[in-house]
Amino acid sequence: MNVAAERFGTLAEGAPVLLTGAAGFIGFHTALRYLQAGVPVVGFDNVNDYYDPSLKESRLDILRAYPEFTFHRADLATPNAFADVLAEHGSKLVIHLAAQAGVRYSAENPFAYAASNLDGFLRVLEACRQHGIRHLVYASSSSVYGMNTRVPYAESDDIDHPVSLYAATKRANELMAHSYAHQYGIPVTGLRFFTVYGPFGRPDMAYFFFTRSILEGRPVTVYREGTLQRDFTYVDDIVEGIVRIADVPATPDPDFDRSVANPASSSAPFRIYNIGNHQTETVNALISEIERATNMKANRVELPMPAGDVEMTFADVDGLAERVGFSPSTPLSVGIERFVNWYRSYYRA
């Protein structure tokens, strides 16, 4: 059993970790990491059809191979569904990764984001309050930085100007979490993920549909001539950050100064950390890596930048490194090759 499992056993008091979004991309990899370490996991997911449910079922099939895995197919928006599962298993650590994802989709179906990201998160917070959990770790997003132009993005930066509804719901999650940490003393930690990619990833993400289109000989849609920059972060690095931060519940910041705006810490047990590869790559570089890994050229269709997108994401991860001694480092070339190999195997491409 690895160090993470040993430390988790102390935090959980013998109970399993309760993980929402277990059928999702990051949730699956996080659950698998715990299970491989011998840590029991209770998964919670509604397995919706935002993207191919069969991919989610394939992830669940892998997790179900572990006897330490228990799964509840339920919706966070259903009254008492999550609270009942938490009460049944007595979990003390909750990792909340379920959400309605997608920046562009939030312009098409805004009410889905209110139901999942706002109402659903409120039900998670209420259940954690009622059942005395020791740490709630939840997914935020680099999208909260919105119109911020200061790079690299630091957790202390201004984040009051989101440019998509998705980003606004993630910022709302951070505010909701702080209110519960302040009012009820619940230790809560938010993690701002930066453009996560890797095997078993989300088909709505650029690297996924670029790979699919290139292998199938179909056109690849490229915005703003491929000059948009992203902090691409390999999923194993994200999971390492989650597992490490889960072992150290948020505590009040003794140096917190109310006269200085800092949305990342508080006099309450509340913290926020970036998890990113702390470097930027252009979309052109991403396409080049996929072309190299597939040994095929992309047939590009150039379009202007869509509303709701930002020009750059770039993570300052000093806070994470200081807190848990880790920062992501997987090169894009390595991560994309692993993804393409998985894609070819899974889809027999």
What pLDDT score does 35 carry? 97
- The model's confidence at residue 10, banded by pLDDT at 50, 70 and 90, is very low
- The model's confidence at residue 114, banded by pLDDT at 50, 70 and 90, is confident
Residue 79 lies in a domain: yes
**Mean predicted confidence (pLDDT) in 338-347:** 98
What pLDDT score does 275 carry? 98
State the Cα angle at 318 between 314 and 319, rounded to 5°: 110
Residue 336 lies in a domain: no
- The model's confidence at residue 13, banded by pLDDT at 50, 70 and 90, is low
DSSP state of 306: P
Q: Is the pLDDT of residue 100 over 90?
A: no
Residue 287 lies in a domain: no
What pLDDT score does 105 carry? 67
What does pTM read for this prediction? 0.94
Helix, strand, coil share (%) of the chain residues, nearest 5: 45, 15, 40
Q: Name which of 80-89, 110-119, 278-287 the model is least confident about.
A: 110-119
Residue 178 lies in a domain: yes
- Dihedral sign computed on CA atoms, order 175, 191, 116, 13: negative
Q: Is the pLDDT of residue 1 over 50?
A: no
Q: Is the pLDDT of residue 3 over 90?
A: no
Q: Is the pLDDT of residue 4 over 50?
A: no
Residue 46 lies in a domain: yes
For residue 38, which amino acid is it?
Answer: G
Residue 135 lies in a domain: yes
**Mean predicted confidence (pLDDT) in 127-133:** 96
Which is nearest to 21 in space by CA: 13, 30, 8? 30
**Mean predicted confidence (pLDDT) in 73-102:** 94
Which is nearest to 61 in space by CA: 50, 51, 52, 71? 71
Does residue 261 or residue 48 have the better pLDDT?
Answer: 48
For residue 235, which amino acid is it?
Answer: V
**Mean predicted confidence (pLDDT) in 191-219:** 97
HSE toward the beta carbon, residue 315, CA cutoff 13 A? 30
**Mean predicted confidence (pLDDT) in 60-79:** 96
Q: Number of structural domains, the chain?
A: 1
What pLDDT score does 280 carry? 95
Bridge partners, residue 280, by sequence: none
Residue 9 lies in a domain: yes
CATH number at residue 176: 3.40.50.720
Kindly report, residue by residue over 150-204, the tens digit of the pLDDT: 899 999 998 989 988 889 999 999 999 999 999 999 999 999 999 999 999 999 9
Pairwise CA distance, residues 349 & 344, whole Å: 4
Kindly report, residue by residue over 39-67, the tens digit of the pLDDT: 999 999 999 998 999 999 999 999 999 99
Q: Is the pLDDT of residue 322 over 60?
A: yes
What pLDDT score does 103 carry? 67
Q: Could you give the percent of the chain with pLDDT greater than 70?
A: 95
- Dihedral sign computed on CA atoms, order 180, 183, 186, 190: positive
Residue 213 lies in a domain: no
Which is nearest to 264 in space by CA: 315, 330, 326, 327? 315
- Strands 281-282 and 229-230 come out as antiparallel
**Who's near 50: CB < 8 A, 6+ residues apart?**
100, 101, 102, 105, 112, 204
**Who's near 21: CB < 8 A, 6+ residues apart?**
27, 44, 45, 96, 97, 98, 99, 139
Domain that holds residue 98: 3-194+235-276+315-328
Which is nearest to 208 in space by CA: 42, 55, 80, 10? 55
Bridge partners, residue 227, by sequence: none
What pLDDT score does 106 carry? 67
What pLDDT score does 274 carry? 98
What pLDDT score does 112 carry? 80
**Mean predicted confidence (pLDDT) in 274-294:** 97
Catalytic residues: 166
